[in-house]
A and B are shown apart, each in its own frame.
Chain A
Amino acid sequence: MVGRVGAALARGRVPARATLWPAAWSLLLAVLLLGGALGHGYVLSYDMVWVPDLALGRDALGTGTALPRAVPSDAVVAVLDEVLGGMLLQKLVLLVPLVAVGAGAAALAGRGTPARLVAATVAVWNPFVVERLAIGHWPLLIGYGVLPWVLLAATSWRTSGTLPARVPLLLLLGSLSATTGLVSAVALLAGAGTSRARRWWAMGALVLVANLPWLAAGLLHAADATSSATGADVFAPSHEGLLPAPLTFLSLGGIWNAGVVPPTRTGVLGVVATVALLVLAGTGAVRGWSRVPEPLRRPLVACWAVGLGLTLATWAAPAATGWLASTVPGAGLLRDGSRALALAAPLAAVLAGRGAAAVVGLLPDALSRAMIAFACAVAPVALMPDAALGLAGRLSAVDYPTSYVALADALPALPPGDAVLLPFASYRAPDWNDGGRPVLAPLGRYLPRRVVVEDRLVVDGRAIAGEDPRATTVREALAAPTSAGRAAGLRAAGIRLLVVEDLPGHPVPDVTGREVWRGGDLRVVDLGAGRAVPGPPRAWTLVMGASWAAWCALPLLGGVLVVRRSRSKSSR
């Protein structure tokens, strides 16, 4: 019944023809979705800050003072942008995962072009992707793109008993942040888990090494690794518009930030799109489940249950999440629980695809079947049209102001030492960023210098405490009553330079010092030599060095497997 292609899928191996057309279709959708984001310049939106050349500093390596939120993603970017440049790398990072998730969902859906194309569309064009793009969670989207392929490879491992050589690399790509690493780990365990203890040890070792940089850095920062309980309430998954929360989550929406929810999700169209998805998925569950390759069914359901369960739990019990985050180091990962919906997407896409195929199969003639298949494949786009063209222009790429470029060029000639960025606020909404799009202060990453930035967030006018002790010290120094006192406090915190952005409506406190550079809306003030800031403890350097070495060796394991298998084949 499943045929040749289905049999290959059942073994977790994906024939090229199962993904060729869906990949082309996904590429078309991804280009339509990203629109102006693929143009010249950088997409700067909320947490997504890309710069021409990110420095491989202590924070990127996990030995800085801040919690390792961007480990290992920043280190990977810092290395790769030396080859590709930050701009091209960002385009690839935005585009490739969308194509990958579409092609991967099609491969999971089993036989039939309608099922594959609809699964691809649902995987690419859904609220989860759109909202995470808008808020700039690109490492999560890379993990999301890799997820179907982790499921396929893990299933192949379970059914064949042989570790596919691609698993280490997939896990590495799927673990560029802590949340994403957990998502990929769940997919691996769900797909490859058997009753054999040896298999669990092997899976555990792979997951551990793939996540080692952020795990090790997190343990080194364990003393500061608890998070604000308020954050759990603010970042809890949320309903969207007319939809109650559980239905919002079932249709893959529910981000905490209403500012990044597409307007169509909050109106009647959001309800129509949700009903359409649930009807198609329900039809697929009833009439098409038997056509989903059998070995993939359990992993798909397990991932969906974990993803939806976590989202519902953090929505229903934000107080418990807050208590955990403020008590258990690292439990802050549970905040923003709708990130776990990445795990629910593959099953939603597969069921929608199978449902569409079942409906198409009821029609009497080829023309009707073709038209309904096409309608099902474009329906997610038609029902959320404001996601098109870079979220209706909200993801347009912009150029950095010339003052940024000039300061980065001038900085090596300025006095050495750490800098603080003023106004001391974590986010900006500069006019040059598409008329005032919010973004994490870009200068903190743009300048080739250690820049201390505020890590406290403001949501609904409420401040949510950060975790970087150095930012707290700087905040306290800036609160001193006199300009000389502020300067002395900053020098005692090891700060030499102030980088001041002139942002209308955002005055900065006077700090005694000598202006050493000015250009456009930026100026640099030298406070005089600050207290020497000690480097990371030697033990930290050793631990992180070993962690990075193990992490870098993981792709080599895949290479070794390939070479060994090709040798054993040729010797037969």
Chain B
Amino acid sequence: MGSIVAPIVSCIVGGGLAVATLMGVVTSQTSAPEQSPGNIQSPDFNYGITAE
């Protein structure tokens, strides 16, 4: 029983986490520049932007 559970569990959980991580990396690399603190361009030296 245990020898069946382990591979199934590992596939489901590992696969889910891998997909989530991939999604996260893609999200962060394709997000709008305004959301990146490293890319805020403002003539007024904006300290920050509030959420809409």
Interface residues of A (CB under 8 A from B): 45-46, 134-135, 234, 238-240, 256-264, 266-269, 272, 363-365, 367-368, 371-372, 375, 378-379, 382-386, 391-394, 423, 425-429, 434-438, 457-461, 505-506
Contact = CB atoms under 8 A, between A and B. Distances in A.
B17 A438 contact: no
A392 B2 contact: no
Nearest to B42: A429
Contact of A426 (B10, B45, B52): B45
A385 B27 CA distance: 10
A392 B28 contact: yes
A46 B46 CA distance: 10
A458 B2 contact: no
User: Which size bracket describes the interface of B in this complex?
Assistant: 35 or more
Given A238-B51, A268-B23, A461-B46, A364 B1 contact: yes
Nearest to A241: B51
Nearest to B52: A258
B38 A393 contact: yes
- Among B10, B23, B38, the most chain A Cβ lie within 10 Å of the Cβ of B38
Given A378-B17, A382-B21, A460 B45 contact: no
A386 B47 contact: no
A3 to B, nearest CB: 26
Nearest to A267: B27
B48 A375 contact: no
B24 A459 contact: no
Interface of B: 1-3, 5-6, 9-10, 13-14, 17-18, 20-21, 23-25, 27-28, 31, 34-52
B28 A262 contact: yes
A375 B10 CA distance: 9
B-side interface mostly: helix
A467 B45 CA distance: 19
Contacts of A436: 38-41
Nearest to A364: B2
Nearest to B11: A371
A134 to B, nearest CB: 5
Contacts of B21: 382-383, 385
A379 B19 CA distance: 12
Contacts, number: 155
A375 B17 contact: yes
25 contacts: A46-B48, A239-B51, A256-B48, A258-B50, A259-B34, A259-B49, A266-B31, A269-B27, A272-B20, A364-B1, A365-B2, A365-B5, A383-B24, A384-B24, A386-B24, A386-B25, A392-B28, A429-B42, A436-B38, A459-B49, A459-B50, A460-B48, A460-B50, A505-B43, A506-B43
Given A45-B37, A436-B38, A269 B45 contact: no
Contacts of A438: 37, 40, 45-47
Contact of A372 (B9, B23, B48, B50): B9
Given A368-B6, A436-B38, A436-B39, A427 B28 contact: no
A269 B37 contact: no
A375 B19 CA distance: 13
A103 B40 CA distance: 35
A384 B47 CA distance: 24
B49 A460 contact: yes
Given A368-B5, A461-B46, A263 B28 contact: yes
Contacts of A240: 51
A427 B38 CA distance: 14
B9 A394 contact: no
A458 B45 contact: yes
Contacts of B24: 264, 269, 382-386
A134 B50 contact: no
A382 B20 contact: yes
- Among B27, B37, B50, the most chain A Cβ lie within 10 Å of the Cβ of B37
B25 A428 contact: no
A272 B27 CA distance: 14
Nearest to B35: A263
Nearest to B43: A505
B46 A458 contact: yes
Given A368-B5, A394-B37, A435-B38, 14 more contacts: A45-B37, A234-B50, A259-B40, A364-B2, A368-B6, A382-B24, A383-B24, A384-B24, A386-B24, A391-B37, A426-B47, A429-B42, A436-B40, A458-B47
B38 A437 contact: yes
- Among B25, B27, B31, B43, the most chain A Cβ lie within 10 Å of the Cβ of B27
Contact of A256 (B1, B39, B50): B50
A367 B6 CA distance: 6
B42 A371 contact: no
B13 to A, nearest CB: 4
Contacts of B2: 364-365, 367-368
A379 B17 CA distance: 7
Given A269-B20, A378-B17, A385 B35 contact: no
Nearest to A256: B50
A459 B49 CA distance: 6
Contacts of B13: 371-372, 375
A55 B22 CA distance: 46
A429 B45 CA distance: 7
B9 to A, nearest CB: 5
A258 B21 CA distance: 22
